Amino acid sequence: MTTPIETQFRAKGLRLTKQRRLIVEAISEANGCPDFAELYRRAAGRNRRVSRATVYRALRLLTSEGIIECYTFRGGRPRFGSLGGAS
């Protein structure tokens, strides 16, 4: 069975790598909108080979492609969340 996130990746011609999948799962499983540090901890906790650079690049790709949303609140760190139906 194909998930909505897999459908979005295919439609955009992107590969859903293991690392990207970990990051998307971390976002969808989080309460609220996690920041970079929380997403890195969650992803690295599942796979120690995930680096900060991998998480950063994946978040940048996911936001630029409209798969996830980046929220920046006044004076705070950027936070990331699923778009409707993307989890």
What pLDDT score does 54 carry?
Answer: 95
Q: How confident is the model at residue 76 (pLDDT cuts 50, 70, 90)?
A: confident
- Overall pTM surpassing 0.85 (yes/no): no
Strands 68-71 and 79-82: antiparallel
pLDDT digits (tens, 9 = 90+) for 2-43: 667 778 888 999 998 999 988 888 888 888 889 999 999 999
Q: What is the CATH number of domain 4-82?
A: 1.10.10.10
* Cβ–Cβ < 8 Å for 29, 44: no
| pLDDT tens readout for residues 38-75 | 999 999 999 999 999 999 999 999 999 998 899 998 88
The structural domains of the chain, with segments of one domain joined by +, span 4-82
d(CA 16, CA 21): 6
The token pair that represents 50 in the structure block: 């995930």
